[in-house]
Amino acid sequence: MAGSVTSELAVRQSSGAAAAQPGRALALAAGFRADRKRQRMISVMLIGPLVAFIVFAFVLPLGTMLFYAVNNPEVRNALPQTLEVLKTWDGSGPPPPEAFDALVADIKSDVPPNVLAEAGRRLNYEITGFRSLLAKTVRNVRNAEITVAQQHLLAIDEQWNDPAYWRVIQRNGSALTAFYLLSAVDLRPGDEGGAKLAPREERLFLSTLMRTLVISAVVTLICVLLAYPIANAVVSVGGRFSAIMLACVLLPFWTSLLVRTSAWIVILQKEGIVNRVLQALGLTDAPLELVFNRTGLYIAMVHILLPFMVLPLISVMKGISPTFVRASSSLGAGPLTTFLRVYLPLTLPGVGAGCLLTFIIAAGYYVTPTLVGGASDQMLSYFVAFYANTTINWGMSAALGVLLLSCILALYIIIGRIVGIDRIVGME
């Protein structure tokens, strides 16, 4: 920045001399412009490789994920002729007879069996039982001589007379679908366009979203209540105690996440050290359930996220001059008044930034909730991984990823407004 200001200044000074030597001034100005252009080129060349690398290894993967949330190739690949016929069907009343012919033709065409199986799986997301209906039909039709397609299919299963099945096929003729994104907030596409809330027993993700937000909020709250006095002690006590405190905050920060998680599992278990101590002190008769449930999750997550709250608070508190507090008490304010009206307001920007940061990290956490939480404590990130790895429903995994990402980006925008992202990451 300083360089460009000086060259600006130089340009202006030289234009002051322009009255005397207009030609030389113009040449100088052109020289400065060329120099600035060259400087900019160098900067771009220095940053270019990293940006290209991030685009390749991060932005494109993220884009692929976003794309999978709306990608809808399965039915188009498997049943092109059926979709062509259904284009003209208005969706009400019985399915058109030609659709049956087209479906038989699609099944008898040389599409590989796994393409049909994938279409069955995709359709099954929308109507349970569609997969087995299609699989049964494919098995039967492939080896059969068929004269009247409609009769034959209805003989295989009466369900082929239900327009709902054909409407689902029709709806999935488009290359992109909102189905996964709607499902991520427990909505189902309606037959007449629009969307409606899923039946109560099928609602899964709104409660998961709520749980994610509640767990993150509780963890953040506990963290700020613990971190505030710790940070204050580190800043104000000074000397050896302060250094030891700081080391105690930093050691977990540098210790492997899995080491800390395994430690909590071991010490919180039924025969673990915490239960032994509680029983020895007579505080409880039977061992408490402290792990693989919400209690264990809160304890472990607070432990892991506490440094992320303490460190920003320390940096804010360090910046507060002790003279403010002294001035306040010399003017007659009691300790409580001084704290509430002088010290606390000065630390609020740090508290706000620390809380939002902790909340965001908590909301995206995967390892600790998976290992320490129970089945009913799993957060959104667990389901993102579950659908990608276990059920291979990439669309659903991606859509939940989009949901989680939008929550987190919204919070980052809030932080950006309040304190500035640059300050959070320490780049100002």
Which 9-68 residues touch other proteins, going by CB under 8 A?
36, 39-40, 42-47, 49-51, 53-65, 68
Among the listed residues 110, 114, 125, 111, the one whose alpha carbon sits nearest the alpha carbon of residue 72: 125
CB of 14 to other proteins, least distance (A): 20
User: Cα 345 to chain center, whole Å?
Assistant: 32
Backbone φ and ψ of 45, nearest 5°? -65, -30
Residues 147-186 that bind other proteins (CB under 8 A): none
Cα separation, 312 vs 322, whole angstroms: 18
Stretch that binds other proteins, among 77-85, 129-137, 153-161, 271-279 (CB under 8 A): 271-279
Whats the size of the chain, residue-wise? 428
Stretch that binds other proteins, among 128-136, 139-147, 151-159, 270-278 (CB under 8 A): 270-278
Tell whether residue 423 is a contact of other proteins (CB under 8 A): no
Q: Which of 119, 381, 393, 399 binds other proteins (CB under 8 A)?
A: 381
Cα separation, 82 vs 80, whole angstroms: 6
- In 162-254, which residue ranges form alpha helices assigned H by DSSP? 163-171, 179-184, 205-236, 239-254
Could you identify the residue written with the tokens 């692929």? 64
Q: Which two tokens stand for residue 26?
A: 């113009």
Cα separation, 246 vs 2, whole angstroms: 37
Stretch that binds other proteins, among 75-83, 91-99, 194-202, 379-387 (CB under 8 A): 379-387
Tell whether residue 385 is a contact of other proteins (CB under 8 A): yes
Among the listed residues 157, 133, 132, 153, the one whose alpha carbon sits nearest the alpha carbon of residue 144: 153
Number of residues that bind other proteins (CB under 8 A): 94
Tell whether residue 327 is a contact of other proteins (CB under 8 A): no
CB of 208 to other proteins, least distance (A): 13
Residues 193-212 that bind other proteins (CB under 8 A): none
Closer CB to other proteins, 155 or 277, in the complex: 277
Q: Which two tokens stand for residue 63?
A: 């884009």
Among the listed residues 377, 375, 396, 234, the one whose alpha carbon sits nearest the alpha carbon of residue 315: 234
Stretch that binds other proteins, among 16-24, 144-152, 214-222, 247-255 (CB under 8 A): 247-255
Closer CB to other proteins, 82 or 393, in the complex: 393
Closer CB to other proteins, 72 or 381, in the complex: 381
CB of 299 to other proteins, least distance (A): 9
Closer CB to other proteins, 203 or 260, in the complex: 260
Among the listed residues 363, 361, 355, the one whose alpha carbon sits nearest the alpha carbon of residue 404: 363
Q: What is the DSSP string of 2-63?
A: HHHHHHHHHHHHHHHGGGT-HHHHHHHHHHHHHHHHHHHHHHHHHHHHHHHHHIIIIIHHHH
Stretch that binds other proteins, among 75-83, 87-95, 172-180, 417-425 (CB under 8 A): 417-425
Q: Which two tokens stand for residue 413?
A: 């925008």
Q: Which of 13, 21, 207, 262 binds other proteins (CB under 8 A)?
A: 262
Tell whether residue 306 is a contact of other proteins (CB under 8 A): yes
Backbone φ and ψ of 424, nearest 5°? -60, -45
For residues 302 and 223, is the Cβ–Cβ distance under 8 A?
yes
Q: What is the dihedral of CA 87, 93, 95, 96, to 10 degrees?
A: -70
Residues 70-89 that bind other proteins (CB under 8 A): none
Q: Which of 132, 151, 207, 255 binds other proteins (CB under 8 A)?
A: 255
Q: Which of 112, 113, 335, 345 binds other proteins (CB under 8 A)?
A: 335
CB of 320 to other proteins, least distance (A): 14
Residues 347-366 that bind other proteins (CB under 8 A): 360, 363-366
Residues 211-240 that bind other proteins (CB under 8 A): 226, 229-230, 232-233, 236-237
Q: Compute and round to an integer the Cα radius of gyration of the chain.
A: 32
Q: Which of 294, 367, 374, 423 binds other proteins (CB under 8 A)?
A: 367
Tell whether residue 245 is a contact of other proteins (CB under 8 A): yes
Q: Catalogue the long-range contacts made by 4-12 (C-beta closer than 8 Å, 24 or more residues apart).
A: 4/36, 4/39, 7/32, 7/35, 7/36
Report the run of H or E that residue 351 belongs to, with start and end: helix 344-363
Residues 387-416 that bind other proteins (CB under 8 A): 388-389, 394, 397-398, 401, 404-405, 408-409, 412
CB of 352 to other proteins, least distance (A): 18
